[in-house]
């Protein structure tokens, strides 16, 4: 039977506040099933490690966008993981003999799959359909390969699953032109290119479609119980910390233990030791007071953080100057017209993105500004080291959504611009990514490493100084 999972919502909220204890709790609880699933889908230890690493980095960077209204913390984290998993996945050849034999052996070992599904879906599917879903989710197989493994007609099973998914009660129905089954098949990775694009667009623009995607993600997550897991990897955790430059670690990595009963506040000679240990391992209880004999921990990084922030703002101001100079006449004319009507001038608002390498907080790499409707102006601030067959590709997506929109190939040798096509409106907030790719024309989702990442915001441009009236000739 499916197990009841502890909530990760509080841990994500701590990550949003940049408390490393939240990320450590998420890693201890989610790393084993994520690593196991990645190994089964990718069949490559190095790629599985990369999928785990990239997912944890993205969880930390985007935790402030988690909204429990859309779905559970588990579903949100796994949607990010499967987004990276599908980008790294290399689909095996259809009817690959060794692969099919291994998968059949795995099915025989795990036994019936139907018991691992939640009751709302379990009531509408058969064991054959349950195995079909398990092979798609846990093994990353397409419908043609699953057909060979199970010796069935895949079209018949897909038809039955479509009816079952549409009958399963869940989140509100999407208001776009997609149904529950389309979203479920998208989460399972069973849609082709055009169908996947339709589902991506729906999830990116429709909150109900996003809720549906997270609903199915949470439902299918229970299938990770079919996979053998190992204890969290200490070296992988250290690499994540290094990437994110996390130098304050609450406690050494360890497997989850039963929570112990809290001890009463220490008194006398033990007050200092007890307070120090409580400060190191966990946040103090609201009812527990710091001992007067315990000095407060000095904040060593306060001045450094202010200095880094000041430097970043200076760099941002210098980059924006390139874009603001050409629009000053336009802004002046705009405000002059307003003043002619005796109305207060309105500042010009710009869609702005400062993109930085993952884990960096003080190294801007790209500046993106939209000062014209439907046009993104790009200013490269760093030069990327690329191989001859590699290019940079710009993507964007809505927060809380695992789906992306490809904006195009970009060049970091000079400023450039991208004209947005229909459906690519400029709204806030949006998350932007620049990845390193080899075959960008064939891509629907990012597959390469993330080079830069950033979130858009609105920049209010101050009014230009009014010109002094001409001095009459004497």
For residue 396, the domain's CATH number is 2.60.40
Q: Give yes or no: residues 222 and 89 share one domain.
A: yes
Where is the domain boundary, 226, 247, 280?
226
Where is the domain boundary, 226, 246, 271?
226
30 in a domain, yes or no? yes
CA dist., res. 457 & res. 335, Å (int): 23
Domain with 83 in it: 9-226
Structural domains in the chain (count):
2
Torsion angle of alpha carbons 321, 324, 329, 333, nearest 10°?
-140
**In the structure, what pLDDT confidence band is assigned to residue 470 with cuts at 50, 70 and 90?**
low
Q: Give the three-class secondary structure for 129.
A: helix
**What pLDDT was estimated at residue 130?**
94
Coarse DSSP helix, strand, coil percentages of the chain, rounded to the nearest 5 percent? 50, 10, 40
- With residue 214 as reference, give the H or E element that holds it: helix 207-221
**What pLDDT was estimated at residue 374?**
75
**In the structure, what pLDDT confidence band is assigned to residue 4 with cuts at 50, 70 and 90?**
low
377 in a domain, yes or no? yes
Q: Give yes or no: residues 217 and 359 share one domain.
A: no
340 in a domain, yes or no? no
Q: Give yes or no: residues 205 and 324 share one domain.
A: no
Q: Give yes or no: residues 356 and 222 share one domain.
A: no
32 in a domain, yes or no? yes
**In the structure, what pLDDT confidence band is assigned to residue 3 with cuts at 50, 70 and 90?**
low
178 in a domain, yes or no? yes
CA dist., res. 460 & res. 440, Å (int): 35
Q: Give yes or no: residues 211 and 323 share one domain.
A: no
Residue for token digits 């230890």?
45
47 in a domain, yes or no? yes
Q: Give yes or no: residues 356 and 219 share one domain.
A: no
The answer to whether residues 242 and 56 touch, using CB atoms and an 8 Å cutoff, is no
CB atoms within 10 A of CB 269: 8
Strand order in the sheet with 348-355: 405-410, 391-397, 431-437, 450-461, 348-355, 366-372, 375-380, 416-419
Q: Give yes or no: residues 217 and 354 share one domain.
A: no
Q: Give yes or no: residues 40 and 164 share one domain.
A: yes
Average pLDDT, the chain: 74
Where is the domain boundary, 226, 256, 276?
226
Closest CA to 246 of 121, 381, 360: 360
293 in a domain, yes or no? no
CA angle 164, 166, 167 (to 5 degrees): 65
**What pLDDT was estimated at residue 248?**
45
**What pLDDT was estimated at residue 458?**
75
Q: Give yes or no: residues 164 and 52 share one domain.
A: yes
- Supply the pTM of this predicted model: 0.55
Q: Give yes or no: residues 219 and 351 share one domain.
A: no
Is pLDDT above 60 for 277?
Answer: no
CA dist., res. 8 & res. 5, Å (int): 9
- Measured in degrees and rounded to the nearest 5, phi and psi for residue 367 equal -120, 125
145 in a domain, yes or no? yes
């Amino acid at each position: 039977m499916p197990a009841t999972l502890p909530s990760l919502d509080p841990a994500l909220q701590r990550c949003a506040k940049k408390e490393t204890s939240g990320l450590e709790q998420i890693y201890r609880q989610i790393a084993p099933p994520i690593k196991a699933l990645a190994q089964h889908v990718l069949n490559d230890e190095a790629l599985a490690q990369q999928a785990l690493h990239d997912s944890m980095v993205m969880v930390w960077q985007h935790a402030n966008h988690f909204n429990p209204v859309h779905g559970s913390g588990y579903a949100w984290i796994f949607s990010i993981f499967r987004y990276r998993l599908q980008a790294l996945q290399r689909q095996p050849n259809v009817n690959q003999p060794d692969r099919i034999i291994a998968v059949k052996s795995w099915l025989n070992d795990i036994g019936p799959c139907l018991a691992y599904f939640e009751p709302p879906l379990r009531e509408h599917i058969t064991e054959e359909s349950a195995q079909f879903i398990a092979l798609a989710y846990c093994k990353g197989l397409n419908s043609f390969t699953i057909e060979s493994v199970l010796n069935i007609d895949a079209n018949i099973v897909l038809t039955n699953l479509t009816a079952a998914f549409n009958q399963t009660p869940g989140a509100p129905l999407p208001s776009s032109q997609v149904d529950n089954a389309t979203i479920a098949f998208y989460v399972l990775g069973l849609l082709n290119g055009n169908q996947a694009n339709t589902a991506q667009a729906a999830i990116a623009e429709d909150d109900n479609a996003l809720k549906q995607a997270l609903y199915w993600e949470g439902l299918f997550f229970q299938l990770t119980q079919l996979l053998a897991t190992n204890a969290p990897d200490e070296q992988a955790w250290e690499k994540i910390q290094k990437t994110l430059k996390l130098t304050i670690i609450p406690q050494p990595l360890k497997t989850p233990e039963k929570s112990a009963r809290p001890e009463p506040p220490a008194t006398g000679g033990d007050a200092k030791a007890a307070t120090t240990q409580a400060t190191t391992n966990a946040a103090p209880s609201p009812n527990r007071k710091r001992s007067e004999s315990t000095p407060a921990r000095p904040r060593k990084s306060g001045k450094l953080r202010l200095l880094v922030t000041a430097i970043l703002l200076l760099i941002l101001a210098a980059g924006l100057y390139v874009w603001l100079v050409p629009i000053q006449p336009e802004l002046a004319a705009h405000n002059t017209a307003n003043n002619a009507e005796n109305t207060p001038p309105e500042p010009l608002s710009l869609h702005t993105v400062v993109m930085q390498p993952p884990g960096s907080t003080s190294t801007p790499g790209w500046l993106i500004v939209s000062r014209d409707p439907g046009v993104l102006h790009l200013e490269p601030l760093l030069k990327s080291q690329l191989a001859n067959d590699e290019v940079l590709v710009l993507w964007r997506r809505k927060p809380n959504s695992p789906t992306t929109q490809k904006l195009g190939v970009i060049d970091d040798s000079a400023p450039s611009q991208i004209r947005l096509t229909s459906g690519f409106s400029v709204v806030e907030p949006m998350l932007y990514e620049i990845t390193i790719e080899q075959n960008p024309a064939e891509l629907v989702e990012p597959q390469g490493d993330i080079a830069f990442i950033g979130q858009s915001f609105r920049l209010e441009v101050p009014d230009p100084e009014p010109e002094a009236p001409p001095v009459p000739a004497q």
